[in-house]
A and B are shown apart, each in its own frame.
Chain A
Amino acid sequence: MGGDQEKSIIEKFLEENVLFLGPDPAIMEDHRVVPTTPREQIALDNFSNPDEINLVRHKLQTACNESFDMVEQMGAAPGAKWGDLISGVWTANGDLALASMGGVLIFSVLTQHPVKFILKYWKDDPTVGLKDGDIFMHNDARYGNIHNTDQSLMIPVFHQGELICFTGAIVHEGENGAIEPGGMPSAAESPYDEGLKMSPIKVGENFEFKRDIMTFLQNSVREPKLQLEGMKSKFFAAMRMKARVEDAIAEYGVDAVLATMRKTLTDTEAEVRRRLRTWPDGKVRTNVFADGTLRENCLIRIRLEMEKLDDELILDFRGSSPEFLNRPNNTVLASLKGMLAQEFLSFVWPDLPRNQAVFAPMTVLTDKRSALHCSPEAPNAQSMMTFFPSFTCVQIGVPKYLYSAGHRATDIIAGWYNMIVTFLYGGVNQYGELVGNVCADLNGMGGAARWNRDGEHSLAPIFAPMADIGEQELIEEEIPLIKIVPHRLMRDAEGFGKFRGGHGYQQIATMKDSSMWGFMCCSIGSKFPTTYGIFGGYAPGTLPLCKVKGVNVFEVMENTRDLLRFTIPEIMNERPFKGATYSTHHMGLQLEFSKPGELYMITQGGGGGYGDVLERDPALVSKDYLDELISMRSARTVYHVVLDEKSGAVDVAATEQARKAERENRKRRGKPYREFLKEWETPEPPRTVPFYGSWKDKALIYRGTPDDTCPADAIVPIIMPNPKDVRIAALEAELATLRTQQR
C-alpha cells in the first residue's frame, strides 16, 4: 500500500470517528460574512429593485421588532422583561442578516456561530438532521453567545423544501444551574461550575418541544418553570417571525427574501468601509486596567493598538493579561468581538442595520490563552470583567479618529460607565419557591459626556441602547428583595470635565420574609476606575460594596425612625445602628446568605468627562451644586469655581482668579516630558501590586510579580489561590508575630 493511500485511509478514519464535536475554531474565530452563494446570486439577479428590497427589508425588520416585543412581554426572566435579548433572522448560511432594533446588540455579532455549527455538523448527520419543524437551542459561550446565562433558540424556515433562513431569539434567562444561583457565577473555578452546557442541540421536532429533553433541561436548573417559560416565549417569537418571512415570500417571492437578506449584509459592510475611509489613517493606542477577578483585587492590563488602514480597522489586543484558569473573568474571542461591535452599532453608527456585517471590516488580534482569547478549559461566566474594559479601550480611542473625520453620524463621546452594578440573588422567595436571577437595575449605567453637552444620568447599559431598569414594586411582588431607598443619584460620582459624565444611583438593598436568601455582586472598579474621560476629562471615581450586618432595619423603621439614613455616605459615616458591623469591600461578592434587614449597598457608576475642568461653564457647576450632584469641595478644588454655599451663586471675579491661579499652578508643578519620564517610568511592574499583562514590551507577559513572566506567544495560564486561604495565611502570620512579641 502506498504512503499517500495509507494517509488517506487514516484521514478518512479520523474524519468518520470524531470523538467529540467541541467548539470549532473555524467557526468561532471567523466573524466575517459568508460570501454570496450561487443561489443568492440567482436571487439577486431576479430581484434587484432597490425600492422593493427596501420594502422587504422593512417587513423583515418589523418582524424582528415584533418578536422582540413578544419575548419582552411574555418572558418570565427579569432579563427578558427589561429588554436583555434580541430576535433576528439568519441567512441559510448562518449569518445574522437582521435583528431587532432594541435589546442587547452584542448578540448581533455572536449569534451566528451556533447556526453555523448546526449547518456544518447536524444538517447532514443522520442522527440529527435539519428539517421543517425542528427547534434548536444553545447556551454554551464556547459555541457562541456571551455567557451561559444566555439561551438562544433557532428554527429553520423552508420554502418548497429549500432552506431559506433561520429565525429565533436570544435571551439573558438568568438561572442556569451553576455553582451559584442567578446564572453568572463569579465563584466558578472551571467551565463545569457554570451550569448548563448546551452545545447546539435539537430540542424539538414538528414544532413541538421534546418532553424528555425539556425535562432534562428543567432538571438541571434551580427554576424549572423559568426554563420552560423561557423556551416557550422564544419559540413563539421565532414562529411569529417565520410566519412573517412566509408572508414576505407569498407577497414578493422567495428570491425577494433571499436577495434582501444578502443585500442587507453586503450593503452594510460596504457602508461601514465607506465610512472608515473618511477616518484619518494611523494608530491610536489605549490602556485600561481592570482591577480584579471578582474574587480578589489585582491589575489586569487590557492593551489596545488600533490601526486604521483605508477601509479596515485592526484592533490589536496583544500584550493583554493572560487567562485565569480558575476565575470566570475570561473572554471567548467571539464574545469579545460581539462586545467591540457594540461600540460601532450603538455609539458610532447607530443608523446602520443591526447585523454582523457591521463588524466585518474589523480585524481583531489577540494572544492565544490571553484573558481575551481564552481556552475552552477557562471559565467565562464573568467575561464582562475583561470584555467591558476592552470595549472601553475602543470607545476612548475612537474619538481620536472621529474628531477629524468631518461629518459624523453621532457625537464624539467619552467613556460610558461599563460595569454591571446590581445584585444577583438566590434563595427561597415569599411563596416558598427556589429562585435565582439578577436585578435589572444594572441597566442604569451613567452616560458619558459628549463634545457639546453633559452625559445623562443612569441612562442605559453599554451593551443595549434601549433597556429598562425594572419596577421595584413589581420585583417585590416576586422576590423578597427590598430597596429601602429609591434610586438616589450619588454625589461626586461623575467624570469631571468641561462636560461632565452622567451620574449613577445608589442601591440600598435588604431582604424580608425569607428563610434563605443570599446576595451576590459582580463588578470591578473599587481601586482603579473602569472607564475614563477623553481630551482631558476625568474618569468617574471608584465604587465599593458597603455592608451593614447585625441590624434589622425593619425593626429600626418601626421603633426608632430617627435612626434612619437615606444615603450610603450617611449610613456608613454616621454608623447610626448601635452594635451593627459596618464594612466596605470590592464589588465581587460570592453568594452570601443574609439575615432580614441587613443592608447591602452599591452604587451604579457614572460616565467619563469630556475636556478640561477649567473650561466648564461656572453656571453649570452652580446648577450641579444646587442639584446635589457635586459637593462644594469638588466645585472649589476640581472645577475651581467659587460659589456661595447657600445660594450657589457664582462669584465671577473670584472664579476667574481661581482658574487663572490653577493654570499657573499647573505650569509650575508640571515637568517637561523627558524629565518626568526619568522619575516616573519603571522597567517592570511594582512589586506591591499584582500585575497581569505586558508592561513595556507587548511580547513579555507578567504573571502577578516582576519575577514571573512568560512570552506572549506561549502564555502560561494563571491559577489564583483561594482568597480564604490567603486570608488565613495572613491571619496566621499576624498571630505568629503577636505570639513572638508576647514571648
Chain B
Amino acid sequence: MSTKRVAITEYLEIDLEKERWHCRSCGHDIAAARANYKEGLLVYNRDPREVHHPVLDESYPFTYAPDPNWCRIIEFYCPTCGTMIENEYLPPGHPITHDIELDIDKLKARHLGAEGTSNATG
C-alpha cells in the first residue's frame, strides 16, 4: 500500500491514504488530518522573557522584552522527538488558533493523481 506523504510545513506532513498528520522529524503519528494537528502535540505556556531577555535594567517599564502579563509564547512540541513544530504569541488565556484546515479530499485528489495537477507551478 502506498504511504504517499505531502509536506505541509517544515515539520508537518500528511499521510494522504491514512489521513494522518505526522512529524517530519521523527515520523510520529500526530493526529487525524481533518483535525487540528495541535491536538496531538505537547503544549507549553512560556514566559516570553525566557526567550527575549530584558536588555535594559528591569526597573524601566520597557526593556526590549515582551510584557509577560500581556503576551505569552505557546510552544507546541512533538511528543516523541521534542521538535518545536510551531509556536504562537497570544494574550493570556486567548483561544489557541486552529491554523491549518486543508481540504483533504482535494489534497488527495491532487497528490494521488486523480486530478493530475500536482506538476503545476506556483
Tell me the complex Cα distance, A669–B77, Å: 10
B4 at the interface (CB under 8 A from A): no
Is A705 in contact with chain B by the CB < 8 A criterion? no
Stretch at the interface among A71-79, A140-148, A255-263, A580-588: A580-588
User: Is there contact, CB below 8 Å, between B9 and A400?
Assistant: yes
Q: How many B residues, CB 8 Å from partner?
A: 70
Distance of B21 from chain A, by nearest CB (Å): 13
A651-689 interface with B by 8 A CB criterion? 662-664, 666-667, 669-674, 676-677, 679-682, 685-686, 688-689
Whether the pair B62, A278 counts as a contact (CB closer than 8 A) is no
- Asked if A695 contacts B7 (CB within 8 A), the reply is no
Q: Closest Cβ of chain B: how far from A477's Cβ, in Å?
A: 33
Give residues of chain B (1-30) contacting chain A, Cβ–Cβ below 8 Å.
Answer: 6-11
Judge whether A291 and B82 touch: CB under 8 Å: no
Is the pair B43, A671 in contact by a Cβ cutoff of 8 Å? Answer: yes
A584 touches B43 (CB 8 A): no
Give Cα A286–Cα B94 distance, bound, in whole angstroms.
13
**A633 CA / B50 CA spacing, docked (Å):** 10
A663 to B67, CA, bound (A): 26
Contacts of B43 in A (CB 8 A): 670-673, 676, 680
Instruction: Given A529-B89, A569-B56, decide whether A695 and B94 contact each other with a Cβ distance below 8 A.
Output: yes
Most buried by B among A275, A397, A540, A669: A669
Chain B residues near A672: list those with CB within 8 A: 42-43
Chain B min CB distance to A306 (Å) = 10
Q: A282-B102, A536-B83 are in contact. Are A670 and B75 (CB under 8 A)?
A: yes
Partner of A572, one of B56, B75, B88: B56
- The one of A285, A528, A543 in contact with B67, judged by C-beta atoms closer than 8 angstroms, is A528
- In the complex, residue of chain A having the shortest beta-carbon distance to the beta carbon of B107: A280
User: Which of A397, A408, A568, A633 has a CB less than 8 Å from the CB of B122?
Assistant: A408
Chain B 82-104 per-residue mask, 1 if CB under 8 angstroms from chain A, else 0: 11111111111111111111110
Which of A406, A584, A611 is the one whose CB lies under 8 Å from B120?
Answer: A406
Task: For A670, give its contact among B42, B120, B122 (CB under 8 Å).
Answer: B42
Q: From known contacts A282-B102, A673-B40, A673-B43, infer whether A406 and B91 are also in contact, taking CB-CB under 8 Å.
A: no
A90 interfacial by beta-carbon distance below 8 Å: no
* Residue of A585, A611, A691 ringed by the most chain B CB atoms within 10 A: A611
Chain B, residues 29-56, CB within 8 Å of chain A (1/0): the string is: 0000000001111111100001111011
In this complex, the member of A534, A582, A667 whose beta carbon has the largest number of chain B beta carbons within 10 angstroms is: A667
Give the shortest distance, in Å, between A16 (CB) and chain B (any CB).
51
Nearest CB in chain B: distance from A589 CB, A: 13
Alpha-carbon separation in the docked complex, A574 to B85 (Å): 40
Q: Is the CB of B11 within 8 A of A612?
A: yes
Q: Give the interface size class of chain A.
A: 35 or more
In this complex, the member of A280, A409, A662 whose beta carbon has the largest number of chain B beta carbons within 10 angstroms is A280
A496 within 8 A of partner (CB): yes
Query: Would you call B83 and A543 a contact (CB within 8 A)?
Result: no
Q: Give the complex CA separation of A284 and B39 in angstroms.
A: 16
- Check if B77 sits within 8 Å of A670, measured CB to CB: yes
The verdict on A638 contacting chain B, using a C-beta distance below 8 Å, is yes
Contact indicator B63/A544 (Cβ below 8 Å): yes
Q: Is B112 part of the binding interface, using a Cβ–Cβ cutoff of 8 Å?
A: no
Chain A neighbourhood of B66, CB < 8 A: 527-529, 541-542
Of the residues A275, A542, A679, contact of B52 by C-beta under 8 Å: A542
Looking across the interface, which residue of chain B has its beta carbon closest to that of A691? B91
Closest A residue to B118 by beta carbon equals A406
Complex Cα gap A677–B91 (Å)? 14
* Assembly CA distance A540 to B79 (angstroms): 26
Q: Which one of B60, B73, B100, B121 lies within 8 Å of A400 (CB-CB)?
A: B100
Q: In the complex the two chains form, is A685's CB within 8 Å of B8's CB?
A: no
Task: Indicate if A66 sits at the interface (CB-CB under 8 A).
Answer: no
Contact mask for chain A residues 601-624; partner B; CB cutoff 8 A; 1 contact, 0 none: 001000000111111000000000
Residues of A within 8 A of B75 (CB): 666, 670
**B76 — which chain A residues lie within 8 A by C-beta?**
536, 670
B65 to chain A, nearest CB (A): 6
| Given A631-B53, A666-B77, A689-B70, residue A280 in contact with residue B110 (CB < 8 A) | yes
- Contacts A543-B64, A680-B45 given; does A285 touch B99 at CB 8 Å: yes
Considering residues A544, A582, A586, which has the most beta carbons from chain B within 10 angstroms of its beta carbon?
A544
B117 CB to closest chain A CB (Å) equals: 7
A544 x B56 contact (CB < 8 A): yes
Q: Is the CB of A287 within 8 A of B90?
A: yes
On chain B, the residues within 8 Å of A347 by CB distance are: none
Cα distance A280–B119 in the bound complex, in angstroms: 13
User: CA separation between A247 and B61, bound complex, in Å?
Assistant: 62
- Which of B50, B60, B121 is A637 in contact with, Cβ under 8 Å? B50
Shortest Cβ gap from A609 to chain B (Å): 10
Besides A282-B106, A286-B99, A676-B44, 6 other CB < 8 A contacts? A404-B6, A532-B89, A584-B60, A584-B62, A676-B45, A681-B93
The 6 closest A-B pairs by CB, nearest first: A670-B42, A663-B82, A682-B93, A544-B62, A282-B102, A278-B122
- Could you list 24 A-B pairs, sorted by A, with CB under 8 Å? A280-B107, A282-B106, A282-B107, A284-B99, A285-B98, A287-B90, A289-B91, A527-B71, A534-B9, A536-B84, A542-B64, A543-B64, A572-B60, A583-B60, A585-B62, A614-B82, A663-B81, A663-B82, A669-B44, A672-B43, A682-B92, A685-B91, A689-B69, A696-B95
Taking Cβ atoms with an 8 Å cutoff, the residues of A that contact B are 274-287, 289, 291, 297, 299, 397, 399-400, 402-409, 451, 491-493, 496, 498, 526-529, 532-546, 568-569, 572-573, 582-586, 603, 610-615, 631, 633-634, 637-638, 662-664, 666-667, 669-674, 676-677, 679-682, 685-686, 688-689, 691, 695-696
